[in-house]
């Protein structure tokens, strides 16, 4: 088991993706564990080294103490990177994990070149509310926390239709050690970054949920306004937006990490298109295409790089996640098998999950015909099997 003993805590962590890939460190919210990031791990592990851990006192991570501090939580994140030999990583945290990200942005900016703060605020709640919650869990245990947490974590519509998906998270919450949960409540209670966040100088993305009752979208906007040059994205979700809107969340994360180049003329459009083409399809595929340029196809390749990738895929109107799903559906409709396989392979690079692809293929069965969808399902099985086999091979 991957455990790290650090500063009185035994920290559990998990790593997915190639060892030599850029690293992303995910930090969980209060009451959850590393499994809350499973949608992002599934989408990103093909091109990033995805590191997830259980915050001390959560999941499989244990630590003594009645009250943790943000110094401890931030120090744990740095210790995990050091144990893995990772010099720098993008950081992404929700709620309490977002507070950890603020601490890191202030105290360890050299380790975290980009930081994502989701469904959080520079100051969350008030002392009376946190003290009441601490007293309640220490007196009555975690079970009474489950029902109110559902109401905070997810919108009613999502909770009603995705009960099987969220049940594992609720099981984690119910099974937490009340003492560890209470000690983290104290860390959140005592955290106040309202002045400190103004000193953060690394790029920051703030993600908020439009229906978040715990840390409102307005609090997210205020946090983004306080951090120099921070970006802000609002998603139609409640408190655990990465789980309720996994595709949109991952797409926003990818757009922030990868970035988009300005498109001003044909040369800039080609450069931007080539960059996006590499991001979406993978550098190996693009390099092979470039190596196969001939006098016959060179102008055509330049054209699609400029206009398909530099003009359309760079537009802000739709996230790349949505463009991937639309492209897959159109390739089924047009019976373009080679292009369909290409975009099935590429979809994960845009934060698309396989269950989302399944839903698109089911939709094509109605509007494109069962034979077309049947063929597409077979192609998807072949493509995913090949990807899984490649991921199982040891890295050179």
CATH number for position 284 = 1.20.1290.10
The per-residue pLDDT for range 288-337, each reduced to its tens digit, is 888 888 889 888 988 988 888 888 887 877 888 899 999 999 999 999 99
Compute the average pLDDT of residues 348-375.
93
For residue 310, the 8-state DSSP code is I
Which tokens is 8 given? 């009185």
Residue among 306, 346, 311 at smallest CA distance from 328:
346
Report how far residue 118's alpha carbon sits from residue 241's, in angstroms, rounded to the nearest whole number: 8
Asked if 240 and 97 count as a contact pair (C-beta separation under 8 A), the reply is no
SS3 27: strand
Asked if 13 and 4 count as a contact pair (C-beta separation under 8 A), the reply is yes
In this structure, what is the dihedral angle of CA atoms 213, 217, 218, 223, given to the nearest 10 degrees?
110
Of 214, 238, 258, the residue at which a domain comes to its end is: 258
Asked if 301 and 324 count as a contact pair (C-beta separation under 8 A), the reply is no
Q: What percent of the chain has pLDDT over 90?
A: 71
Compute the average pLDDT of residues 269-284.
80
The per-residue pLDDT for range 138-172, each reduced to its tens digit, is 999 999 999 999 999 999 988 988 888 899 999 99
Residue among 266, 57, 272, 302 at smallest CA distance from 182:
57
Task: Note whether 243 and 363 are same-domain residues.
Answer: no
Q: In this model, does residue 212 exceed pLDDT 90?
A: yes
Asked if 29 and 240 count as a contact pair (C-beta separation under 8 A), the reply is yes
Q: 314: burial class by Cβ within 10 Å (0-12, 13-18, 19+)?
A: middle
Asked if 122 and 214 count as a contact pair (C-beta separation under 8 A), the reply is no
Task: Note whether 203 and 63 are same-domain residues.
Answer: yes
Report how far residue 70's alpha carbon sits from residue 80's, in angstroms, rounded to the nearest whole number: 16
- Counting the structural domains of the chain, the total is 2
Task: Note whether 80 and 180 are same-domain residues.
Answer: yes
Which tokens is 200 given? 């953060």
Task: Note whether 345 and 251 are same-domain residues.
Answer: no
Of 223, 258, 293, the residue at which a domain comes to its end is: 258
Task: Note whether 84 and 232 are same-domain residues.
Answer: yes
In this prediction the pTM is 0.74
Range of the domain at 70: 3-258
Report how far residue 208's alpha carbon sits from residue 333's, in angstroms, rounded to the nearest whole number: 36
> With bands split at pLDDT 50, 70 and 90, how would you rate the model's confidence at 1?
low
Rama region for 188: left / alpha / beta (φ>0; ψ in -120 to 50; rest): alpha
Of 233, 258, 283, the residue at which a domain comes to its end is: 258
Pairing of strands 9-16, 3-6: antiparallel
Q: In this model, does residue 373 exceed pLDDT 50?
A: yes
Task: Note whether 208 and 319 are same-domain residues.
Answer: no
Kindly report the backbone phi and psi dihedral angles of residue 88, in degrees, each rounded to the nearest multiple of 5, phi listed first: -140, 150
| pLDDT (0 to 100) of residue 129 | 97
CATH code of the domain covering residue 160: 3.40.50.1820
> With bands split at pLDDT 50, 70 and 90, how would you rate the model's confidence at 268?
low
Task: Note whether 78 and 212 are same-domain residues.
Answer: yes
| pLDDT (0 to 100) of residue 396 | 47
Task: Note whether 98 and 221 are same-domain residues.
Answer: yes
| pLDDT (0 to 100) of residue 286 | 84
Task: Note whether 148 and 297 are same-domain residues.
Answer: no
| pLDDT (0 to 100) of residue 290 | 81
Q: How many CA atoms lie within 13 A of 333 on its CB side?
A: 12
Task: Note whether 241 and 340 are same-domain residues.
Answer: no
Task: Note whether 367 and 308 are same-domain residues.
Answer: yes
For 184-262, where are the E strands, in sequence order? 204-209, 231-235
Q: How many CA atoms lie within 13 A of 64 on its CB side?
A: 2
Report how far residue 78's alpha carbon sits from residue 112's, in angstroms, rounded to the nearest whole number: 10
Task: Note whether 335 and 186 are same-domain residues.
Answer: no
The length of the chain, given as a count of residues: 396
Residue among 345, 348, 334, 329 at smallest CA distance from 382:
345
The per-residue pLDDT for range 29-72, each reduced to its tens digit, is 999 999 999 988 887 887 889 999 999 999 999 999 999 999 99
Report how far residue 66's alpha carbon sits from residue 84's, in angstroms, rounded to the nearest whole number: 29
């Amino acid at each position: 088991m991957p455990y790290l003993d650090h500063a009185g805590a035994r920290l559990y962590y998990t790593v997915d993706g190639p060892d030599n890939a850029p690293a992303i460190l995910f930090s969980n919210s209060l009451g959850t564990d590393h499994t809350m990031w499973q949608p992002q791990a599934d989408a990103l592990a093909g091109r990033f080294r995805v590191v997830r851990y259980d915050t001390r006192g959560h999941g499989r991570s244990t630590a003594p103490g009645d009250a943790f501090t943000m110094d401890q939580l931030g120090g744990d994140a740095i210790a995990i990177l050091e144990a893995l030999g990772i010099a720098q990583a993008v950081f992404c945290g929700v709620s309490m994990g977002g507070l950890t990200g603020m601490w890191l942005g202030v105290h360890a900016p050299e380790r975290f070149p980009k930081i994502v703060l989701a469904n959080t605020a520079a100051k969350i709640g008030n002392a009376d509310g946190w003290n009441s919650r601490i007293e309640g869990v220490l007196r009555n245990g975690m079970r009474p926390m489950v029902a109110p947490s559902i109401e905070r974590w997810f919108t009613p519509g999502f909770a009603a239709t995705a009960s099987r998906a969220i049940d594992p998270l609720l099981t984690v919450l119910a099974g937490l050690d009340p003492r560890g949960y209470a000690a983290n409540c104290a860390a959140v209670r005592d955290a106040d970054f309202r002045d400190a966040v103004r000193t953060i100088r690394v790029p920051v993305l703030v993600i908020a949920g439009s229906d978040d009752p715990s840390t409102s979208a307005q609090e997210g906007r205020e946090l983004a306004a306080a951090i120099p040059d921070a970006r802000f994205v609002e998603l139609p979700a409640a408190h655990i937006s990465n789980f309720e809107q996994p595709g949109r969340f991952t797409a926003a994360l990818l757009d922030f990490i990868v970035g988009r180049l300005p498109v001003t003329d044909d040369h800039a459009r080609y450069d931007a298109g080539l960059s996006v083409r590499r991001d979406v399809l993978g550098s190996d595929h693009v390099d092979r295409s470039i190596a196969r340029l001939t006098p016959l196809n060179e102008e055509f390749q330049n054209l699609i790089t400029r206009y398909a990738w530099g003009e359309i895929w760079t537009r802000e109107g739709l996230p790349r996640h949505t463009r991937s799903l639309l492209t897959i559906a159109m390739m089924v409709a047009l019976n373009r098998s080679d292009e369909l396989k290409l975009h099935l392979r590429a979809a994960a690079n845009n934060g698309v999950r396989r269950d989302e692809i399944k839903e698109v293929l089911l939709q094509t069965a109605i509007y494109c015909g069962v034979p077309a969808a049947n063929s597409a399902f077979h192609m998807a099985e072949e493509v995913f099997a090949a990807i899984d086999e490649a991921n199982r091979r040891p890295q050179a």
